[in-house]
Amino acid sequence: QVQLVESGGGLVQTGDSLRLSCAASGTIFSTKDMGWYRQAPGKQRELVAAITAGGSTNYGDSVKGRFTISRDNAKNTVSLQMNSLKPEDTAVYSCNARVVTGRSLVRYEYDAWGQGTQVTVSS
């Protein structure tokens, strides 16, 4: 079983910065795509940023130029640097990792999710 634990959320003002981190633990044979999603009250969950094992990135239109995703394959962590925060960024942010886990020679691949961390940006 693989667990993801997020940290770094909190309450900030418009224009401030936050850095979210997510650490994966457990039996991990390999990690493929990783990413961050968010969901605001009354809205659908949306992709914020994603990064492949090779380092290719993809960002949601509303955060391009302000957010940066990165990963450390040796430590099984993924981070999200958020700059120039706006009230519209207020949401619960969750990290995701596509992992290969299992025991002995019986292995399987699935999406692991963190519990979510609240980011609130006051106007």
Please state, in angstroms and rounded to a whole number, the distance separating the CA atoms of residues 101 and 109.
Answer: 6
Segments in the chain below pLDDT 50: none
pLDDT of 109: 96
pLDDT of residue 1: 84
Secondary structure of 47-102 in the HEC alphabet? EEEEECCCCCEEECHHHCCCEEEEEECCCCEEEEEECCCCHHHCEEEEEEEEEEEE
**Structure tokens of 97?**
């990792």
pLDDT at 107: 94
pLDDT at 85: 98
User: Residue 104's pLDDT is what?
Assistant: 83
Q: What is the pLDDT of residue 105?
A: 86
Beta bridge partners of 39: 92
SS3 104: coil
Number of alpha carbons in the 13 Å side-chain half-sphere of residue 52 = 5
